[in-house]
Amino acid sequence: MCSARPHLWSKWLPLAEFWYNTTYHSSAQMTPYEAVFGQPPPQHLPYIPGESKVAVVARNLQDREQMLLILKFHLLRAQHRMEQQKLAPKYYGPYKILDRCGKVAYKLELPSTSRIHPVFHVSQLKLRVGDAVTTTQLPNVIPDLLTKEPERVLEHRTVKRLNRAVTQVLVK
């Protein structure tokens, strides 16, 4: 929720608090809201466009609905990734050692399609025993499904960051 838009984290604190207080806790066998008020928590009603006459309220409700969609997407993606990785092999390879980096790290010759750093600590490596070839492919990378194309540049400015000029662009 906050990593996608870190400058807006304080705006989402009330929603996070609402979520926590209305989520079932197995240790208490109820939600914190039920523990305090003695009744089930109120339901989260979805936003219907045109429902509010106040523009600021309508915009906040639209932002909330958009954030909920993003959260659902990330949750489903994480669940899918965990489901795929659950019974996946812990080790991949074997891969050729290219270089020793320091006392406890080695650089491996990974496939060009891999998106991981090729230097590994010795604790992450496993000795190959025998001559049998048991190649296990690295897992496939799922491309982000939530990529958005900017419509247009609304505004741009130059600001000073760490004694350097940085251009910031606001896009729609």
Q: What is the pLDDT of residue 94?
A: 83
What tokens appear for 134 in the block? 């048991």
pLDDT digits (tens, 9 = 90+) for 120-160: 999 988 888 777 666 666 666 666 655 677 888 888 888 88
Q: d(Cα 7, Cα 109) in Å, to the nearest integer? A: 39
Quote the pLDDT of residue 92. 76
> Contact, 120 vs 171, CB < 8 A?
no
Is the peptide bond preceding residue 94 cis, with omega within 30 degrees of 0?
yes
**Quick check: helix, strand or coil at residue 107?**
strand
Domain boundaries in the chain?
90-138
Q: Which two tokens stand for residue 77?
A: 């993606």
The pLDDT score that the predictor gives to residue 104 is 94
Q: What is the pLDDT of residue 120?
A: 93
- Greater model confidence, 88 or 122: 122
Output the pLDDT for position 143: 61
Evaluate if pTM is beyond 0.75.
no
* Mean pLDDT taken over the chain: 81
H helices of the chain, in order, are 13-21, 32-37, 55-85
> Which amino acid is residue 33, in one-letter code?
Y
